[in-house]
Chains A and B, each alone.
Chain A
């Protein structure tokens, strides 16, 4: 069944809310407006205002409220209109959600999902165009999931809602309308497991979220030059399932990591480090990173395009590790 990323996420939420009455969703415009990006379309009509709750623009308040509700047994889904706004709730996420279990010596758990679009969309400029997964992945106690397809989005979101830990679930404005095959009926995809999206033999491209599609575009282009890319999608950034990445690099001996986040102390640099350290003897070239430029996002369309990973940059990086 081919559906959009948005519909896949909607199905995941509906199925989990039907399955477990401790699940509720709260966020700005999630109920009456049917979701700023329509991921929550129809939920209010189906589950009522007790479980589908419009929040005031008060991210620290309703995120913290949800942490409290999770501490005593509910399973909140917090929709942030975009992850840019989650920064307003950073203290609640990092000091409360992530650390509660540790600080209480295991007396408490915080089963909640904080989800919404992450990363740049179209010309939204610096405050509304940032990929923040590296910041969240930095914090022990959080899980971070960045799905790249409708199928993965649905299966991973269902697992995230059932998970007993706080899960940062990062989507993308640009991906909401993308279509893909989703299995009929009930399925979940486990957190913390990577997926080899495409088998290949010449070089490994590690990509996640929106950049999975970019990796496929690069693979298509390079196939014309008889370069066969393997694409590994970690899907869960934290905990990172490194073995499939290392296994792939041991096979191809070359590695490019593609991410829309900034390069400094990032998911890409972490993966690059692990590959360099743990597959050192297998590498025929240094690992290449294709990331956002280390700049706040400019508004101008051309500047924006060039501040991000592009097809040209990915192709160039692959050729570099192949010494072509």
Chain B
């Protein structure tokens, strides 16, 4: 794909060169993180089909640029919180793929000792405050984290992710009202992948430009291309600046697409066509990034191939770690219920 420069960045079609200022290391890291997410998800899908992973498994494939582009605009001390499609956010935050895969396998070495599973990834040491499985349930939590930042007068922000369908929940509207009323440093990111499970957005929401939903609360809305990591980065950077400097919330709608079904058990042929999915894949975030890195001579094809090999290796050793890890002891079910 050679048209990255048109798609990258702001919608006015500005050239991608401006992102060179991020520096080679950061650009490469962003690319490798997107690759790691994709390979991790592919391995998880395989393990799920082998019944090594149970429950619900919601894959992030196609949406990698959202977690990576947004977190690139944050500092380590900033908080993030998300919904149940949470693998990408945890990996981007630097959570150990071994422990995450072990969590998917339900093992005692997992991030939640096998009690959380796919929908409940937490890495509190890295300020990743969870994966939350009730649609919209995490939005007040993220708002409360921002409340604490303001209460303690800290130089931090909280990015609160949600899916498009969550914007129809009461918790979304109550949170936006509180964040605007109390001027909280929170950035709401709606990962609009166009479907709430099998329901297309225009069958679920009276307003399909989701960024407009902030206007009822006086919250600025932004919309950005979620298949382009730089576009996401730009929008989030601007919103984070506003949160940090003015303690004001922003609602960013990121238009993205998931290549797989809602979860592993979702036959997506019921509600969308293969043609539509193929069309979306032409905007693939990883392919766009590769084109950028090659054209700008930041990396060679050989290096890109190596990155992919390394991502695959990292993921397969995570699978080995998960497989060889112990089951939680029975008595551990009584742990960590009360302090």
Contacts and interface: CB of A to CB of B under 8 A. Distances in A.
B174 A58 contact: yes
Nearest to A238: B338
Interface residues of B, number: 44
B112 interface: yes
B144 A67 contact: yes
Given A65-B175, A72-B79, A165-B339, A105 B122 contact: yes
Nearest to B81: A68
B82 interface: no
A68 B339 contact: no
Interface stretch (B7-15, B48-56, B124-132, B267-275): B124-132
Given A24-B151, A60-B140, A73-B148, A103 B122 contact: yes
B338 A143 contact: yes
B147 A65 contact: yes
B339 A92 contact: no
Contacts of B139: 64
B124 A104 contact: yes
Contacts of A141: 337-338
Contacts of A70: 144
A53 B174 CA distance: 16
B171 interface: yes
A185 interface: no
A84 to B, nearest CB: 17
B113 A106 contact: yes
Contact of B148 (A72, A96, A163): A72
Interface of B is mostly: mixed
A102 B332 CA distance: 10
A56 interface: yes
B216 to A, nearest CB: 14
Interface string B141-163: 11111111001000000000000
A61 interface: yes
A216 to B, nearest CB: 32
B276 interface: no
Contacts of B114: 105
Contact of A71 (B129, B338, B339): B129
Contacts of B141: 64-65, 67-68, 71, 96
Nearest to B121: A104
B192 interface: no
A62 B338 CA distance: 23
A107 B112 CA distance: 8
User: How big is chain A's contact interface, by range?
Assistant: 35 or more
A108 interface: yes
A15 to B, nearest CB: 20
Interface string A247-258: 000000000000
B181 interface: yes
A108 B116 CA distance: 13
B120 interface: yes
A142 to B, nearest CB: 9
Contact of B116 (A71, A72, A96, A104): A104
A269 interface: no
Nearest to A72: B148
Nearest to B174: A61
B48 to A, nearest CB: 20
A140 interface: yes
Contacts of B125: 107
B325 interface: no
B134 interface: yes
Contact of A50 (B134, B151, B335): B151
A104 B339 contact: no
Nearest to A68: B144
Contact of B112 (A62, A67, A105): A105
B198 interface: no
Which of A62, A111, A165 is packed against the most chain B CB atoms within 10 Å?
A: A62
Nearest to A239: B338
Given A72-B129, A72-B145, A65 B140 contact: yes
A101 interface: yes
A107 B122 CA distance: 8
Interface in A160-207: 163-165
Interface string A6-40: 00000000000000000010000000000000000
Which of A56, A65, A70, A141 is packed against the most chain B CB atoms within 10 Å?
A: A65
A103 B112 contact: yes
A143 B177 CA distance: 30
Interface string B185-226: 000000000000000000000000000000000000000000
Given A74-B148, A165-B339, 18 more contacts: A24-B151, A64-B139, A65-B143, A65-B144, A69-B145, A69-B148, A72-B148, A96-B137, A96-B141, A102-B336, A103-B112, A103-B116, A104-B112, A104-B120, A104-B122, A104-B336, A109-B339, A141-B338
Which 7 A-B pairs give the minimum distances between C-beta atoms?
A: A68-B144, A64-B140, A61-B174, A105-B112, A68-B141, A106-B336, A164-B339
24 contacts: A56-B181, A60-B140, A61-B143, A61-B171, A64-B139, A64-B143, A65-B147, A67-B141, A68-B81, A68-B143, A69-B145, A71-B129, A71-B141, A92-B137, A92-B140, A95-B133, A95-B137, A100-B130, A103-B120, A104-B112, A105-B115, A107-B125, A111-B339, A163-B339
